[in-house]
Amino acid sequence: MTTQFAETYGFERSAVTLATWRTAPFSRFSFGHAGEVVPSAMIEATAETTEGAPVTSGLLHKKLGEGLAGQQDVGAYLGYAHTDAFVLMKAGRIVAEHYAPHAGIDQRHLVFSISKSLTALVIATLEADGLMDPQAEVTSLLPEAAGSAYGDCKIRDVLDMRVSLAFDEAYLNTDGAYARYRRATLWNPADPSRPDETLLAFLLTLKKDAHAHGGAHFYASPNSDLLGILIERATGERYVDVLSKRLWKPLGAKNHGSVTVDAEGTARAAGGISVTARDLARVGEMLRNGGMVDGRRIIPETWLTDMLTAGDHEAWVDGEPNFFPNGRYRSQWYQSGETDGAFCAIGIHGQWLYVDPSHETVIVKLSSQPNPLDDELKHDNFAFFRALSALDL
């Protein structure tokens, strides 16, 4: 007998395990229900509020000129790009939305490395209150990092992914340091032949590479998990509570968020956050408005200006990989370097928060893209967002 679950997703719930949850087709369910797979903690909104019906729009049937990636209209492109949830805002108003049959307007979705960008926004507020200094040494808050790769670097090096780190960000690795990392975060099954590690214990085993800190951009997710731990050390509070108090509630988020945690309750600040597409769009709209929501300042103007202008272009182009040829990376956010001033947060498997201030546009695209990276599709998505931003809606 076929169950309702199988009719919705094409497989039974029992097929989604810790060994399969990040692979297709099972990710269609698990990316929207990460808390059923990995232990998670709640990021509280002031009160959960049902969003109501999605905004309907003829935009989904709008032709894409000669066609983008062979797709003739917006709706077809969203299907091609494995889209679970899509929100387009223009001048502060949602003008189009799309949710796959297995998704929904009030459903949280794992945003992967967009978590990094949200984590950095929390640090912006801590700096403003004198609780964290990006120019300070990591060991000023985490003395046990002495002797690790983080023992002689600044928090700013961590924020900008300029830590000298002997680590390979190999998402499909099944052995070695990256596999240990996944197991420590409880994202992969335990290996009975190897000892269990917590996330912090794993981070403290990482070693410095041959070059100095502060050099070329080197993307490594453990850096951002370290930032989550530094937030807890700076405040004496849990990561989820700090994020709730300093970002989620002031933002006016309508739904609670969540973040996966390890065996000690340490948050996966680098990639474990799940939020709704609309709430993520609210983050983008807040940034488009200079860090303000309804006349209240959420993110300090000085931090936002620095985030958008102070990234080192040479460090970016000297690093690998380089997606934006004119771009920069600062405080866990990508600056495109294009004349429209677009900036974004990006997560593997096709997660995007894209902000184009010159066209007053915010776009959220949450996906269950089978390939975690897929550089060709990343370029297609960027071209798609630029095309949408340029539309007069």
Catalytic residues: 113
Tokens at 8, concatenated: 């919705």
Tokens at 153, concatenated: 């670097």
Please tell me the distance from the alpha carbon of residue 152 to that of residue 317, in angstroms, as a whole number.
Answer: 24
Q: Do 88 and 72 touch, CB atoms closer than 8 A? A: no
Tokens at 147, concatenated: 């002797």
Instruction: Locate all alpha helices (DSSP H) within the chain, ordered by sequence.
Output: 4-9, 27-30, 74-80, 114-128, 155-159, 177-184, 199-203, 221-235, 239-243, 249-251, 277-288, 301-309, 313-318, 375-390
One-letter amino acid for residue 67 of the chain:
G
Instruction: Locate all alpha helices (DSSP H) within 163-259, ordered by sequence.
Output: 177-184, 199-203, 221-235, 239-243, 249-251
Please tell me the distance from the alpha carbon of residue 29 to that of residue 102, in angstroms, as a whole number.
Answer: 7
Q: How many CB atoms lie within 10 A of CB 195?
A: 9
Query: Three-class SS of residue 235?
Result: helix
Q: Do 78 and 57 touch, CB atoms closer than 8 A? A: no
Q: SS3 for 259-323, per residue?
A: EEECCCCCECCCCCEEECHHHHHHHHHHHHCCCEECCEECCCHHHHHHHHHCCCHHHHHHCECCC
Pairing type for strands 296-297 and 93-99 reads unpaired
